[in-house]
Amino acid sequence: MTPVARIYEKQILEEGTMTVEEVDARKKDIRGILEAAYVKSKDLHYKAEDWITEEWSKILKMDHDPKRISSVPIDRLKEVG
């Protein structure tokens, strides 16, 4: 399969939206941005607490029965199979 980026590149060149030089420059810019982000990511360190949003905090604080995997009563689950 042809990658979507190649299909799009061909389309914008055929339509005259961008020149080959402009496409190449844009691709170079994007590669630079991605490479810089990759290099920066090597120095980032996260704690589990950094990933817990307010919504997850609410879920984690909810009282729940560890044997219950659903809010549907067990009899109903057995009934439906």
- Using the structure block, give the residue that is written with the tokens 């799009």: 8
Structure tokens at 26: 């844009």
Task: Evaluate whether 26 touches 18 at the Cβ level (below 8 Å).
Answer: yes
For residue range 7-62, what is the model confidence (pLDDT) as tens digits? 999 999 999 999 999 999 999 999 999 999 999 999 888 777 667 677 776 666 66
Q: Which is nearest to 30 in space by CA: 4, 53, 5?
A: 5
Q: Give the separation between CA 15 and CA 77, rounded to whole angstroms.
A: 57
Full-model pTM: 0.52
- Band of pLDDT at residue 68, cut at 50, 70 and 90: low
Which residues, at least 6 apart from 26, have a Cβ–Cβ distance to it below 8 Å? Answer: 18
